[in-house]
Amino acid sequence: MSSQPSHPALLIPGPIEFDDAVLQSMSHYSESHVGAPFVNTFGETLSMLRKLFQSTDPAAQPLVISGSGTLGWDLVAANLAEPGDEVLVLHTGYFADSFADCFETYGVKATQLKAPIGSRPQLPEIEAALKEKKYKLLTVTHVDTSTGVLSELKALSELVHKVSPETLVIVDGVCSVGCEEIEFDKWNLDGVITASQKAIGCPAGLSISMYSGRAIETFKNRKSPPGSYFASFKNWLPIMQNYEAKKPSYFATPSPQLIHALHTSLTQILSKPLSERFAAHRATSQKVKKAVAALGLKQLASDPADQANGMTAIYLPENVKVPELMPAMMKKGVIFAGGLHKEIATKYFRFGHMGVSVTDPNRDDIDRALEALESSLSDLGYQKA
């Protein structure tokens, strides 16, 4: 039994439902940000993040900063690229547009390689683009929260290292870290940015990211100073290294309560093999996608190889509208998200299936959501063709 008050199941692609123990960690009594107990908790949290990224390379560095997933874009754009640099942004939806905007803010020239809605740029196109121009870095949205499209990282990274070995491989993993397989070292990734409130299962308020030794060398070899103060590696790298070495250190006050919650969620995640966690998300995703197909509904991501495992983006049936479906679902105790991709926002909805809603056997969130979806559509007059 959950100790949380009764509330609708939040099944959007983040924030997700949180475990009781994680939420209780948010209420931790006040601690000094430079006192031994908290420094120890923060240090352990960083060490656990290395495990979540399946990384053992001591040259790599995780960062946890008060902020949101969006702050990760500034971390990349202000530290790993310099004004005038060219970067290649693989576009699968809303978030590539914003990442490109962020690069432009810091004087970095972003070229977008776009795919049709529900698809992703293919390796041959990417290869051609990399051969055309020298890019300082390439970004890929691992799971595009606006479309539910999953990108393939391993083959992509291999391609970049083969065709343009100096180009850094940067992953927007906001909607993938914790529910999709990521082998940071083995796949030769240079940066993965994410946030706390999705598959990591900790309330929002933290920007979480991981950088390779190569990315950090790129930063150290900059000709110009970093373009941001709050997001500067110069200010944060020594702090993170100190926390991990259990030494007090100060640049900006972290949030002890959020770090405690992250410590709790990472402890829970790492208490079982990660492979089991990813398999559970794949299995639930398959169940959702089969149920959606059985209802006669189509996903934005039409190719099964492009379908994310932590969320599903689903076209509405003709004649059913988002402002009708959402309140109908809410009455049955389930919250879904509307569309986010600018061009088709009103034509689809999103179902998030990450974290405890997937892994906790005491929860029936997913089954309830599928039942609520079927009966709500029926209530709204939809019948499978």
Binding residues: 350
Pull the structure tokens for residue 276.
């089991």
Find the binder of a copy of itself among 60, 77, 237, 358 (CB under 8 A). Answer: 77
DSSP string, 312-379: EEEEPPTT--HHHHHHHHHHTTEE-EE--SGGGGGGEEEEE--THHHH-TT--HHHHHHHHHHHHHHH
157, 128 in Cβ contact below 8 A? no
With H, G, I as helix, E, B as strand and everything else as coil, classify residue 139.
Answer: strand
Kindly tell me the sign of the dihedral angle through the C-alpha atoms of 57, 60, 65, 70: negative
Find the binder of a copy of itself among 54, 68, 188, 267 (CB under 8 A). Answer: 68
Find the binder of a copy of itself among 54, 112, 255, 267 (CB under 8 A). Answer: 255
Interface mask toward a copy of itself for 109-148; x: CB under 8 A: ----------------------------------------
Pull the structure tokens for residue 331.
């009455």
Q: What's the min distance (Å) between Cβ of 41 and a copy of itself?
A: 14
Residues that constitute the known binding site for substrate: 350
Interface mask toward a copy of itself for 283-322; x: CB under 8 A: ----------------------------------------
**Which of residues 18 and 382 has its CB atom nearest to a copy of itself in the complex?**
18
With H, G, I as helix, E, B as strand and everything else as coil, classify residue 153.
Answer: helix
Q: What's the min distance (Å) between Cβ of 232 and a copy of itself?
A: 7
**87 vs 5, 108, 131, 139, 146, CA distance in Å?**
47, 7, 13, 8, 22
Spatial distance between the Cα atoms of 117 and 360, rounded to a whole number of angstroms: 33
Q: What's the min distance (Å) between Cβ of 303 and a copy of itself?
A: 28
Q: Which stretch binds a copy of itself (CB under 8 A): 14-22, 156-164, 181-189, 212-220?
A: 14-22
Q: What's the min distance (Å) between Cβ of 96 and a copy of itself?
A: 14
> How would you write 63-80 as a 3-class SS string?
EEEECCHHHHHHHHHHHC
Interface mask toward a copy of itself for 78-107; x: CB under 8 A: -----------------------xx--xx-
Residue 90 Rama label (left phi>0; alpha psi -120 to 50; beta): beta
Q: Which stretch binds a copy of itself (CB under 8 A): 7-15, 124-132, 162-170, 279-287?
A: 7-15
Residue 364 is a binding residue for a copy of itself (CB under 8 A): no
Amino acid at 331: K
Q: What's the min distance (Å) between Cβ of 207 and a copy of itself?
A: 8
With H, G, I as helix, E, B as strand and everything else as coil, classify residue 143.
Answer: strand
Alpha helices in the chain (DSSP H): 20-25, 36-52, 69-79, 94-105, 123-132, 153-163, 213-220, 233-244, 256-270, 274-294, 322-331, 356-359, 365-379
Find the binder of a copy of itself among 44, 54, 66, 127 (CB under 8 A). Answer: 66
Residue 258 is a binding residue for a copy of itself (CB under 8 A): yes
Residue 368 is a binding residue for a copy of itself (CB under 8 A): no
Find the binder of a copy of itself among 45, 61, 176, 228 (CB under 8 A). Answer: 228
Find the binder of a copy of itself among 159, 335, 344, 380 (CB under 8 A). Answer: 335
Interface mask toward a copy of itself for 21-60; x: CB under 8 A: --xx-xxxxxxxxxx-------------------------
Kindly tell me the sign of the dihedral angle through the C-alpha atoms of 168, 171, 172, 174: negative
Residue 169 is a binding residue for a copy of itself (CB under 8 A): no
Angle, vertex CA 51, rays to CA 212 and CA 248, nearest 5: 75
Pull the structure tokens for residue 68.
């949101």
Binding site for a copy of itself (CB under 8 A): 4-5, 7, 10, 12, 14-18, 23-24, 26-35, 66-71, 73-74, 77, 101-102, 105-106, 195, 197, 203-206, 225-232, 250-258, 335, 337, 340
